[in-house]
Amino acid sequence: MLIMNDIPIPLEQEKSPFLREVRQVIRARGLAYKTEKTYLSWIKRFIYFTGLQHPKDVGDQQVSDFLTDLAVNQEVAVNTQKTALNAVAFVYRDVIKRPLGKLDHSYSRKTTSIPTVFTHDEASRVIAGLNGNYRLLGELMYGAGLRISEAIKLRIKDIDFGMNVIIVRNSKGNKDRITLLPQKLVEALNNQLNLVAALHIQDTADGCGEVYLPNALARKYPNAPKELGWQYLFPAAYTSLDPRSGIRRRHHVMDSTVQKLVKNSIRAARIFKKCGSHTFRHSFATRLLEKGYDLRTIQELMGHSDVTTTEIYTHVVKRGGKGVISPID
């Protein structure tokens, strides 16, 4: 049975009344389901850390101890500790209605991490090692700067051939953005669209032509799940029974499948960097910087909320030695 990890579970399936309330508040705030899963994971870890006490029965000192344990004993990265703090702070502020005070905890050591990027030749070799839909997915991640989760969730209506753009919906931070449509991929995308259209006709005839939509959209547009425009651009090979709703339909390909195939292609290309699917996105930003595009433009295409996130790629471009010739050369 295919488990669709990007479809929210019904609230009634959450056994813990407290965690059910947390999920309900998160959804009322309109946060992404990925954020919900992340927050629930950290909240559970915090509860186990306190000896299964209810968060309302503990306070700031226990939160500080939890964060210190993550930094000192678990040696988590600084961003991981911040995510844990955000999750626990959300519970106290928005669910328990007792915001945390000033915390006294040890901080994870901040490290400067420079993203690994492919050269253009390396990216091309990895893409060449992929087949069919997966090659097109690799080309989109590299050619448009898409995250793997964004690429696999594209729907037909998100490709605007007239305006030469790709609309990325409900991305990180639950935001939409527009990125470029690589002209080299127009023909392949049109072919893919035609394949999905034919597949949708067959699925409809078989009684499973409805695609998943979030509840709010499904209620607002009751006929949308049956329309071609809402179908996933990269559908799964088989229809499956959604264990949450009991509806048989065709979901998108799984990110784990794409990641595995990209890793295999990287090994076959004899690239020994620490890299994976997300390296395509890093490489997209780096190529644009190398071509002289300004940071604000790249920030918008990448969907970064803060330009400082985009600035990290300037370090990648400069890493080649700033034009200095080595004595050995």
| CB of 38 closer than 8 Å to CB of 87 | yes
Residues annotated as catalytic are 147, 172, 278, 281, 304, 313
Which two three-digit tokens encode residue 158? 């998100």
